[in-house]
Structure 1
Amino acid sequence: MFQVYLIDDEIWALISLEKLIPWKEYGFCICGKSNSAKKAWDDICKNPPDVVITDIRMPGMTGLELLKRLHDSKMKTQVVLVSGFAEFQYAQEAIKHGAFEYLLKQVKREQLKECMIRLFTFLSEQKKKMLETEAYSEKQFWTQMQDQQIKRAAECLFQIEKQEWIGKVCFVASCKKENIVDKKNGKMIQVESFRLFLLGERDENAYGLCIADQEKSSKSEEIKKFLAQVSEQETVWGISRIGDGTQKVSEMIWEAQTALRAAYFSQNQILSYHIKGNGWKKWDELSRAMYYKQNTQVRMQLEALKNEVEVGAVLSDELFSILERIDYEYKKSHGKNLKPQEWIRECDMIHSYPSDKEFFRWLMVFFPVQSEVGSDSAQYIIHLIENQLANAPTLATIGKELGMSQGALTQILKRQTGKNYSELLLEQRMKRAKELLVYTNKTITEIAEETGYTDLFYFSKTFKKNNGISPNEYRKEKRIENEQSTNEK
C-alpha cells in the first residue's frame, strides 16, 4: 500500500480528514499525521511518504512552503494541498511547485475519493516504471559482466580449445553458489564432453557458461547427468535455451535466472527457459467459465494450469501474466480485484506464495463450489480467514458466497472443529501474531493491524488474556529461547 501523511493545524479537521474515506480500499494507509508542517518535515525527511495531504494556511510553515521544500529536495512525494481560500495565486503556486491536486475546504468525500483513485493510478505507473528501470539496470549489469568476465572465460577457453566456441552446444546454467562442487579452479569445471566456465555470482546464485563438444550433449538426460556431477545432490538448476553460441551471453544469463526462479517455485530439480508461445492454451475456456461464474469449470481449468506449472510447461513469469488476465476477468464479473494491489511483478507473487501449491491453494479460494461445503468446509473457512486476517469476512458473508445460512455454517464448524467462527478467527489471529512477533521486526502496532485489530490496547489485552503474557514479553521470551537453542547447536 502507498503511505499518506496528513497535516492540518486544526485538530478537528485532521481527525475529519483521516476518517473521511476508507483509505485501505483505495490502496493507501495513514503513516503519520501532524498539526504542524514544521514538525511534519522532520518525519517526512526520515521516512518519505508517497503522499502528503496538507492544509495551506498554518503557523510556522505553510503548506506551500512545505511543498517548495519537497520540490527543492527532489523528493518523489506527491502533495495534495487543502485550503479554505479559493484564491488563484494559491493554485498558481501549487502548480509551479508540482502539487498533484488542490482541494477546497470542506473537503467532500467524493472529491477526496476521486483524487485518491487518480493518485493510486499515477503512483502505480511510477512504481512500474521504476521496476522496469531496475530490470534494465539488472540487464546492464549482466551486459557489463559479459564485456569483462565472459571475455576472460572465452580467452581461457581459446587457450584450451585453440578454436572458437561458436557452433558448439552452448547454454548458461544457474544454481545457488554454495552448491558448486569444484571451487578451487574458479574458472572451469570439465566432465567428459562438457565444460563449465564460472562467469560470476549475483544474489546468492552462481552462473556458468556450459559448452559441449557433441550435438548429443544437448539432450536433457546428458545435461542433467553433467549438472549432477558438478553440484551437490538435490541442487536446483535453471538453464537458458540451448543454442550454438550465436546468442548474447547476457540474454542467456537472464533466461537462466528466470528458469531458476521458476524451478524453486514449482519444486523442479531442473528447468529450462522457453519462450512463451501463444499463451496458455486453455485460457479461452477459463475466461468463459469465469464470465458465466461456473466455478466448478474454473477450478478444473486452474487444476490443469497447476499441472502445467508443476512440470515446468508454464514458468512462474508466464503464470504471473496469466494471473493478471484472471484478475481482469474477475473484476469484470465480480466488481473487485483478486490480485493484491502491491503485486506489481512476478517476484511479488513468489514472495507471498513461494511455491505453486501455496499459490493455487490461495487462488482456488476465490472460486468456491457447493461441494466444498462438505466434510472439509471447516478447513476451507480457516483458509479464508488465514488469507484475510486484516479484514476477515463475516460468517454471513462466507455463507452468502457458499449459498448457506449463517446458522448452518455455525453447526458445521461446531461439528467439525468444536469451535464457533469467532473462536476460529481468534485462534488464527493469535497464531499469526506470534509468528510476526518472533520472526519479524514489525512494531506491535503494525502486527495488531496486520492481524485485524485497529485498537492497540485491545490487541495487547486480548493477546495477554490468551497467552498469559503481553506481546512484548512474548517476543523477548521466544527470541531468548531461539538464541539459546542456536548456541547449543
Structure 2
Amino acid sequence: MLNAILADDEPIIIKGLKKLIPWEELGITIVGEAMTGRSLMEQIEEKLPDLVITDISMPDGSGIDVIKEVQRRQLHTKIIFVSAYQEFSYAKDALAFGAVDYLVKPIEKSLLLEAVGKAMTQLKEANEDQSSKGKLAVYEQKDKKTQLEELFDRLTQGDIRWEEAQRKLQALNMQFTGSCFSVLYVELAHVQLQDGRWGEHEKRLLVFAVSNLVDELIQVYGSGLVIRKGENLCVIVNHTRIEDDLQRLASEMRDKILFYLKIHVTICIGRPALSLQDIRQSYSSAIEMMNYSFFEKEGTILSWSQEERRGGGDQFLAEAKHAVIKAVIAKEKQQVQELLVSFYEHVATSANGRKESAVLLVYAMLTDLMEEMSAVGIDLQVSPEQRKDWQQRMHQFYRFCDLTDFITDRILDILEQVSTAGGSREAQQMKIIKEFIEEHYSENITLESMASQVFMNPYYFSSFFKKHTHENFKQYVTNIRMKNAVRLLLQTDLLVYEIAEQVGYHNPRQFSDMFKKSYGKLPQEYKSQIKGN
C-alpha cells in the first residue's frame, strides 16, 4: 500500500477529496491531514508519505515552500497541487520544482485519477515497485461509484431497460440492505447562485460541497448515493420501511447546508418505491412536488405525503379580481393592498402548482385593470413594448412572491395615476352613472334625469357618456334592459308582459319589438329555441 497525506485550509475540501476516488481500491492509504504549510511539513517528516495532495495557497507556509523543502531533503514524496484559482505563475513554479500535476478546484474526478495515476507511475519507475502495477489498471476504467451514479441517473430518467440495469448491478456486485428506495430532489437557491458573487468555478465548488455533505448524512439514515442534476441534486436513499422518517433526514440536510455553506435549499421527497425497478416513479413524484416550490419560500420541504393540492376556485378568483379593480377606481390604496393578498391566494390555488398558469392569471388581472381604466377615460400610457417587457420579466421570476411584488408595484403605479390624473374625477362619475343604471333600469331613466344625477347639462352629458362608453345613452340603457330580460326569460316562469314591466317597459308590444331587434326573435320564440337546444 502507498501512503498519502491530504492538505487544505478548508476541512470540507479534505472530506471531498477522501470521497472523490476509491483510495483503498487503488492501493493508497490516507495517513494524515493538514490545514497549514507547517503542519503538512511536520507530517511529511514524520510519516514520509509516498504522495501529498495539497492546496498551493495555505496559511503558515505555501505549497511552493513545502515542495522546495521536500526537494532540499531529497525525499521521494510526489506532490499534486490544487487551487481554487487559475494561478498560472504558481502552476509554473510548482511544475518547475517537480510537482506531478496542478489541478483547479472544484476537482474533476477524472483529472484527479489521472494525476494520481501519473504519480503512481513515477513512484513505480523510481522504486521499481511492481506491486503497484495491478493498481494502475483501475485508472483505465471508471470506478464503481461512478458507474453506479450513471446507472441510477438512467434509472430515474427511464432510459434503460430493467434487464440491462439488473445485469449492470450484478456485474458491480451491488447489494441493497433496505427494501425501499426514495428520491429526495435538492434544489439550490437560484437567487443566491445567480448573484455576482458566484463564478462558474465557485458554483461547481459549492455543488461539490453540498453533494459531499448530503452524502455524509445519508449514511446515518441508511445508504444511498447522490447524483448531480445540473446545479441541483438527486438523492437516492435505500431504507427499510415506507414509514421511515425521511422528513427528518430532509430537515437535517437543509439545516446543515444552511449552517455550513450559507445557502438555502428546497427539498422535495418523492413517493417511496418498493423496488429499484420503480425508482423512476419516486423521482417523478419528487419533481412534481418541486413544481409547488414556486409558491413557497426558499428552504421549504415538500413531500408526496402532504395533503393533495387541487385547483379550482375560479369563481372566487374572478370576484377577488373584480374587487381589486373596484378598489383602484375608488382610489382606496389600503383596501387595494388588502384585496391583492386575497387575490394572490386564489391565484396560487387555481394555478395548482403550475407557474405558467400563475403568470397568466396575474397578467390577466393587470390587463383587465388597464382596460377598465381606458373604458372610464384614463389613458395609462403603456406601450405594447412595455407590456411585452412586463411579460418577459414575469416569466423569469423564480418565486411567486417575486411575481406578486412586481404586479403589486404595477397596480400601485396605476393607482397613483388614477389619483393624480385629470380624468380621475370623470372615472368616479362614470362609476356612479353605471351603478345607477344597473340599479334603476326598471324605472323611467332618461338622459335628462341621469344628467341631473351627476350635475351636468343634458347636452354635455350625452357627449361625456359617449366618450367613455362609445355608445349613446339610450342604446346603453336598452342593452342593460335586454340582458336582464334574457335572464328573467330563461331563469323564471314569468310571462312576457311581466318581464316587460320588470325591465322598464309598460307596453309589452314595444318590449317584444325591441327584444326582436336585439336578438332576432320574439321573446317566446327565443325561449323555445334555447330550451330546445
Same fold flag (TM > 0.5): no
Instruction: Report the TM-score, using the length of structure 2 for normalisation.
Output: 0.33
Higher gyration radius (CA): 2
| Higher helix proportion | 2
Instruction: Report the TM-score, using the length of structure 1 for normalisation.
Output: 0.35
